[in-house]
Amino acid sequence: MEALSCMMKRALDKGLYRGLKCGSEGPVLSHLLYADDVIFLEEWTTLNALNLSRILRCFYLVSGLGINLSKCCVFGTEVNGFEKSQLAMVLGCRVGDFPFTHIGLMVGRNMKGVNAWGPVVELFRKRLTRWKAKQLSFGGRVTVPEGVMDKLERLRRLFFWGGSEEKAKMNWVAWDKIMAPIEYGGLGLGRLRDVNVSLLAKWWWRFKNEKGRLWWKDDRVVWLGDKVGGFSVRDIKLKIVANVYTEPEFVFDWNRLVPRKVSFVAWRAVLDRLPTFVALAKRNIPVRSNLCPVCDELEASVEHIFISCGLAQSLWCVISQWCKMPDFFLFSFRDLLEVHKYLRLSSIKANILQAVCLIATWCLWKKRNDLVHSGVPIQLPGLVQEIKVLGFLWVKNRGKMTSLTWENWCRFKV
Ligand SMILES: [Zn+2]
């Protein structure tokens, strides 16, 4: 494609191709490239079209890259249908109509209306399973109306909680908290609005500073970010984040030895956002009784399930013995998340102990759900075995501890 750009530039210089001039001071545009998509811009003359098809022919002869003209379209502004079909005939392609879609965005339509964004919303909906925030990067060059942002954000939220547009599921953690950066106690999903603003700012920056570009004017702007004079999307994102969120007193530590789904349960537990009987009753969801189905003595709250219930106490006792540590003194769920910090362990061991506590929390939660939903009784030895097996698998692989053997793991020789 670089070669095609060179050819177009030569053709412009030699006057064989007449592009579009942008304003009196602006450059002349002949083509726009994106991956293997090209848009040619030209003055509406038959000679221009003929020369373009000659250039494309030469390009084919030197590069071997043929252009399938039957897949190409001619778009004209302020010319009638007859003129369009004439020029399409010269080029051997079809006549196209505005608006059309180019790299996911509508071209030739007023993008200020929410309706015009329908295709983008639709694309989002279709791609939610392999969603990337970068999906919107093309939206960065135009202002995305507020209503559209809300729609897209709503789709992300529905997707996250596993609901659909017809049937929303209960959102256990506020969406703002989920979007919040990890350093601010969130899940770090980020807000679409911030991505949009950062990218817009980048365009604004280029608009003001890049000489010879389409939009260049002679008034330099200096970005007072961390790098004096330079601009980075990262800087602006950090600045937005610092404005939007306040630092929490407790920051959840996402241990890399375990999958996110495992830490996620502990993250929700410390925020008291797990669907325990107590939490369900609080949200007016009928539960038969909010007593713990394991001990039948106390209310099944997060603190009870993971800390004060007899089953939990036995579990932490077995785990502290397995890991050759003194008994854990746990008064709250948060203590469990921090126990590895107070045992004077090497950083590797502390990390592994933290992972074990997260895995145990996850397994205990799963087993309790099996008990509630399917009546499967919980056996402590089975629970401990599952924690050990999963711990071995994840610590060895995710921690790249290739020499770790099962025997050593069972003796906590790590
Ligand atoms: Zn209990």
pTM summary value: 0.66
Rounded Cα distance between 358 and 306, Å, is 11
pLDDT of residue 239: 81
What 3-state DSSP class applies to 299? strand
Side-chain-side CA neighbours of 292 within 13 Å: the count stands at 21
- In this structure, the number of other CB atoms found within 10 A of the CB of residue 65 comes to 12
pLDDT of residue 315: 97
Cα 261 to ligand 1 centroid, rounded to whole Å: 24
pLDDT of residue 301: 96
Tokens describing residue 147: 């209503």
Rounded Cα distance between 114 and 121, Å, is 10
pLDDT of residue 125: 73
Cα 279 to ligand 1 centroid, rounded to whole Å: 15
Does residue 299 contact residue 324 with C-beta atoms inside 8 Å? no
Cα 323 to ligand 1 centroid, rounded to whole Å: 24
Cα 335 to ligand 1 centroid, rounded to whole Å: 18
Q: Where are the domains of the chain?
A: 2-97, 109-172, 173-249, 260-410
pLDDT of residue 138: 36
Alpha carbon distances (Å) from 288 to 53, 125, 269, 278, 280: 76, 37, 22, 11, 11
Cα 376 to ligand 1 centroid, rounded to whole Å: 16
- For the chain, what percentages of helix, strand and coil (3-state, to nearest 5) are there? 55, 5, 40
- The maximal CA–CA distance of the chain, rounded, in angstroms, is 90
Rounded Cα distance between 183 and 371, Å, is 35
pLDDT of residue 224: 56
Cα 23 to ligand 1 centroid, rounded to whole Å: 75
pLDDT of residue 140: 37
Alpha carbon distances (Å) from 281 to 215, 272, 287, 306, 368: 59, 13, 6, 19, 17
Does residue 262 contact residue 253 with C-beta atoms inside 8 Å? no
Residue 64 is which amino acid? G
Rounded Cα distance between 387 and 382, Å, is 9
pLDDT of residue 147: 76
Tens place of pLDDT for every residue, the chain, 414 residues?
788 889 999 999 999 999 888 777 777 888 888 777 888 988 899 999 999 999 999 988 988 888 888 889 999 888 888 999 999 998 889 998 888 877 666 777 777 777 777 777 777 777 654 444 344 433 333 456 667 888 888 888 887 887 666 677 788 888 888 888 888 888 888 888 888 888 777 777 777 776 655 555 555 555 555 555 566 777 777 888 888 888 777 889 999 999 988 999 999 999 999 999 999 999 998 888 889 999 999 999 999 999 999 999 999 999 999 999 999 999 999 999 999 999 989 999 999 999 999 999 999 999 999 999 999 999 999 999 999 999 999 999 999 999 999 999 999 999
- The β-bridge partners of 73 are 94
Cα 380 to ligand 1 centroid, rounded to whole Å: 13
Cα 370 to ligand 1 centroid, rounded to whole Å: 15
Tokens describing residue 399: 């921690």
Does residue 155 contact residue 124 with C-beta atoms inside 8 Å? yes
Cα 391 to ligand 1 centroid, rounded to whole Å: 25
